[in-house]
Copies of this chain bind each other. A is one copy, B any other.
Amino acid sequence: MAVGKNVKTTYERIKNMRIQGAKRVAVEGVKSLKNVQSMPELRQSCLLLAKSRPTEPMLRNGLRFVFYSANEHNLKATVRNAINKFVRMNDLAVDRIADIAAKRINSGDVLMTYCHSSTVTETMRRAKKQGKRFEVIVSETRPRYQGRITARELRKSGIKTTMIVDSAVRSFINDADLILMGSDAITSDGYVVNKIGSATVALCAQESRTRLGVLSELFKFDPMTSYGTLEPIEERPGREVWPTPPAGLKIRNPAFDVIPPAYIDYIVTEAGVTAPYNVINQAKSRYPWMVEQW
């Protein structure tokens, strides 16, 4: 059975990385379902979209939510309601996380962050608006320099910001009071998957007794990890690292890193501050449909 054109196009655009960023991918993917005609088509569409990007539990959770909410008798309305609700839940989640996490920022703090997370920068902006004075150290995040996006956003908000290379994190971490990071995925045993380099930052934090907080919507929790699926680590093209390498040189370019829960002090989700080991329980209690298996 064929899936709709909307879905196919969106699938292609995600696959070709025209649509990027965990949240945008999830929202666009889910929105493409709005015209499905039947439950079987909905199922097919979800299965197709789920394959568009391997390391994206948020997209898969969105699809699962819509599928779980849809009702044969009133398909169109229930699907659209679900889509809208999913988008709204996302916005609320980020708002709530920023609200909670901003309380952990104190005037006088030196913060550190890594890569780019819109939840992290939103949290910092909020703390700044609350009149807290603090500064932020961010490292460039090779190979794609997402740290520069973070630096630009923070500077735009008038936050004092310092840029360093990734390998200088250990040199500066002893001056930091708190490290805040986003997340791409959280596993059932409390590991956080985030941009390559994140686990090294976490290790340095552990070595120097600096607190590390992860900010993450519960939609990043990957229920499939409960069933043994290892979060797949996307490997990206070598030319991102070195466009003109010498002949015969192999380049390895994994895009993600896995942070052990023992290196994380707390995770802030829309359900509150908790230990990484407990995110699975938060997800189960807040979004019961999420931890049901397909």
A143–B155 CB distance below 8 A: no
The docked-state distance in angstroms from the alpha carbon of A200 to that of B170 is 6
Q: Give chain B residues whose Cβ lies under 8 Å from the Cβ of A170.
A: 199-200, 203, 257
Q: Give chain B residues whose Cβ lies under 8 Å from the Cβ of A275.
A: 189-190, 261, 276-277
Q: A151-B249, A252-B162, A252-B172 are in contact. Are A226 and B274 (CB under 8 A)?
A: yes
Please classify the interface of chain A as helix (H, G, I), strand (E, B), loop, or mixed, using the class held by over half of its residues: mixed
Q: How large is the interface on A (under 10, 10 to 19, 20 to 34, 35 or more residues)?
A: 35 or more
Q: Which chain A residues numbered 256 to 294 have a C-beta less than 8 Å away from chain B?
A: 257, 260-262, 265-268, 271-278, 280-281
The docked-state distance in angstroms from the alpha carbon of A276 to that of B275 is 9
Type the 1/0 row for A147-166, where 1 means its CB is closer than 8 Å to any CB of B.
01001100110001111111
The docked-state distance in angstroms from the alpha carbon of A242 to that of B165 is 9
Q: A170-B199, A203-B207 are in contact. Are A274 and B280 (CB under 8 A)?
A: yes
The docked-state distance in angstroms from the alpha carbon of A256 to that of B137 is 18
The docked-state distance in angstroms from the alpha carbon of A282 to that of B114 is 34
Closest to A242 in B: B163
B249–A161 CB distance below 8 A: yes
Q: A142-B165, A168-B197, A200-B200 are in contact. Are A189 and B245 (CB under 8 A)?
A: no
A-B contact pairs, 28 of them (CB 8 A): A103-B230, A141-B167, A142-B166, A142-B167, A151-B245, A161-B249, A163-B242, A163-B251, A165-B241, A168-B196, A168-B253, A170-B199, A170-B203, A171-B257, A189-B273, A190-B275, A203-B203, A207-B209, A208-B208, A208-B209, A209-B209, A227-B272, A227-B273, A261-B275, A262-B262, A275-B276, A277-B277, A278-B281
